[in-house]
Amino acid sequence: MDDFSIPFEKLGNARKVGIQLPDGMKRKAIEIARLIEEKGYEVVISGETNFGACDVDLSILEVVDVLLHFAHTPILRDERIIYVPNFIDYNPKIDLEIEEKRIALIATAQYVHKLDEVAEWLRSKGYEVEIGSPKGRVIYSGQVLGCNYSVLRDCKADAVVFIGDGLFHAIGAAIYTKKKVYAYNPLSREIQEVDTKDFERKRYFEVSRCVGKKSAGILVSSKPGQRRLKLAERLKKIAKERGMFCSIIYMNNIAAEQLYNLPFDFYVNTACPRIAYDDSFKFERPIITPQEFEFLLGLRDSIAMDEIEF
């Protein structure tokens, strides 16, 4: 197997081992199960989703001794859950030529392991580099999640350089810090300055579709690292005081088809922020974040990135 080494040394006296893979790795299930069974363990494969470390399959722990949760860094700490990260190798000597000389470095979990080497390289090129310390659900300096940018909370730099795939985290960092953000893809070695206008325009449009509506379903996920019941209860209370009917809807995987028959005018998503940001087009009714709901209710002047802090 090329991408992962199984941490056999952490399995202790376990006999039955659960494995939980993200969609992109599920096709490797046989290969991984065979590797583990060849060492004398019995394997049970989780058929549940694995969107992040927030999404640990706790139910499988009823039938196995330990769970190997693949591709994410820990959020939920439990001695029976073993996280197997997926670090992708890349050249830390990144091609960066930008006018700002004081920069902050951030990366997703797959690329964060080389941030110190990237920083050393950039310092040798004359940049002043900062890497924010981890807090809460983030365990590596400089690491960002789609639901957490706390490493940028005290950012003093003039610009942020994001290392990873896609633009979502970079756009999130730009909205979070209100600073210029460059997205660098370490595999293609392409860099671009991110523009948040499209993203923000779409979000304000989604909020505008909720104006004047009378009922809202506040979605709460039972996934251990996404469950924000207290936030949902607070939002429900505030909305009720303003004459809006709200109910909390509790479910594991928040998917459009599970909401089809419910009669609410729109939804407020307290689970993974990316459900509203990336998948709103899949839902029949508008779906907004808690911050966007507060904006709709007149409690804030603008929208902000939704973050999960616990």
Min dist. Cβ of residue 116 to ligand SF4 (A): 23
Helices marked H in 50-161? 115-124
User: How far apart are alpha carbons 270 and 252 in whole angstroms?
Assistant: 12
Q: Are 84 and 50 in contact (CB under 8 A)?
A: no
Output the six-digit token pair for 178: 């209100």
* Contact call for residue 127 and ligand SF4 (CB under 6 A): no
Nearer to ligand SF4 by C-beta: 67 or 272? 272
In the window 215-234, what residues touch ligand SF4 (CB under 6 A)?
A: 225-226
Nearer to ligand SF4 by C-beta: 218 or 272? 272
Contact pattern for ligand SF4 over residues 45 through 64, marking x by CB under 6 A: ------xxxxx---------
Q: Are strands 190-193 and 215-221 parallel, antiparallel or unpaired?
A: unpaired
Contact pattern for ligand SF4 over residues 133 through 172, marking x by CB under 6 A: ------------xxx-------------------------
Min dist. Cβ of residue 270 to ligand SF4 (A): 11
The DSSP code sequence of 104-125 is EEEE-TTTGGGHHHHHHHHHHT
In the window 281-310, what residues touch ligand SF4 (CB under 6 A)?
A: 308
* Contact call for residue 32 and ligand SF4 (CB under 6 A): no
Distance of CA 73 to the CA centre of its chain: 11
Q: Is the dihedral of CA 93, 95, 101, 103 positive or negative?
A: negative
Query: Interface residues with ligand SF4 (CB under 6 A)?
Result: 51-55, 145-147, 225-226, 272, 274, 308
